[in-house]
Amino acid sequence: MTVEPTGTSARSAHRSALALLALALGGFTIGTTEFATMGLLPLVAGDLGVSIPTAGHVITAYALGVVVGAPLLTTLAARVDRRVLLLWLMTAFAAANVLTAFAPSAGWLVVARFVAGLPHGAFFGVGAVLGAHVAGPGRRGQAVAMMMAGLTVANIVGVPISTVLGQRLGWRAAFVGVGVLGILTVVALLRWTPALAVDAGTSVRSELEALRNRRLWVAFAGGAVGFGGMFAVYSYVSPLLTDVTGLAITTVPLVLALFGVGMTIGTLLGGRLADRSVLRTVYLGFASTIAVLVVIALTGGNAVLAVTSIVALGVSSQILGLALQTRLMDLSPTAPSLGAALCHSALNLGNATGAWLGGLVIAAGYGYLAPAWVGAVLTAVGLLVVATVGRSAPHAFVAGAPGAQSQVDGLLDDDDTDARLAVVR
């Protein structure tokens, strides 16, 4: 048995930490633009001369871009080195955000946000695989959490700063700032991440074959419906806090930062819980999110309870999101990048649905608390899909891809017996 020198081990750990930091910076950049839009929504609506529910279409457009781009780009680039693909994705993301800042009308802004959303899910999907690779065996959940922590820290730092920047210099300045962050991420990825070639047998066809697993689509559907609950509320959090809770507009960035603290706690906690049991963590995320949404609907007029509930929503939603991503990776063992990317498609389909339905009830005159009831129902339906349909759905996995069985053994939790994939020979 050869014992690795201590110095070499320390250098390896240092390189892994820097690689994860680069991925977290990418998550921070993406999280800033995704969630800052919610805080800037009244400014966008006022500048472009449209209503707040109409301005909410830019949120829906970005989410639909993620839904389309995540599986499409991940599949088409199946044979591209993971590091190279990340560089291209972040470059495109930075450029699209700069274009967003120069959109001349609401229509063009919707188009620009759709384009900006295309690289989002693919970046997180591919980044999750690269992060798991550099972190090593037994630390997959925590590695994914580390990258996702960049997205949650964005809500503590990036989103409030972008909101303040938008309030003082105009909402367009915030998107220019995101473009700059994208360039910095490209530099960090170039310097700190290692090359990661795909398996020799990986192809567009092998990626598509992974989609034959019906349990994968059950988890996708449950996440897409269930996660809409959080976005039904958060898409309109700024007018909720000012018009219902009675807080000053200047306090909105602080509440958004506190929401980010909750998301960070949820991400770190969810990573540890997912390494113990993915499926139980999924159930916990659904149940706690439903409870928090009901509390928001009942107590949104009380400043202390409303802010506390919004922070709790950050915790519960991130436990759910991280567990769902790990679950989808489990259910696509020969195409983990695609599985992780599909999670972001699911979450952003929920984003689009939640923002749209929330806007509908607001436009119908039911007020800014009504989306919380809509959200609670959506999340409950998502839980029902995963808990009932998911357990009874047949599943299939096409054997023959190089390393397929070893990947199954390495990715699936011992106690998630219902997630074991039947091998069709």
User: Across all residues in the chain, what is the average pLDDT?
Assistant: 82
pLDDT of residue 141: 65
The tokens of 44 are what?
């966008």
pLDDT of residue 323: 83
How does pLDDT run across 33-67, given as a tens digit for each residue?
887 887 788 889 899 888 887 888 888 899 889 88
pLDDT of residue 414: 38
| Start-end of H helices in 170-302 | 171-192, 204-209, 214-226, 228-234, 237-239, 252-276, 278-299
Structural contact between residues 159 and 260, judged by C-beta atoms closer than 8 angstroms? yes
Instruction: Give the mean model confidence (pLDDT) for residues 348-374.
Output: 90
pLDDT of residue 391: 58
Q: Between 17 and 390, whose confidence is greater? A: 17
How does pLDDT run across 392-411, given as a tens digit for each residue?
544 443 333 333 333 333 33
Is the pTM higher than 0.85? no
CATH code of domain 15-424: 1.20.1250.20
Domain ranges of the chain: 15-424
pLDDT of residue 201: 65
Instruction: Give the mean model confidence (pLDDT) for residues 180-192.
Output: 96
Instruction: Give the mean model confidence (pLDDT) for residues 292-313.
Output: 94
| Start-end of H helices in 49-139 | 52-55, 57-76, 82-101, 106-135
Helix-helix angle 171-192:82-101, to 10 degrees = 160
- Please provide residue 79's backbone torsions phi and psi, each rounded to the nearest 5 degrees: -100, 5
Read off the pLDDT band of 419 (50, 70, 90).
very low
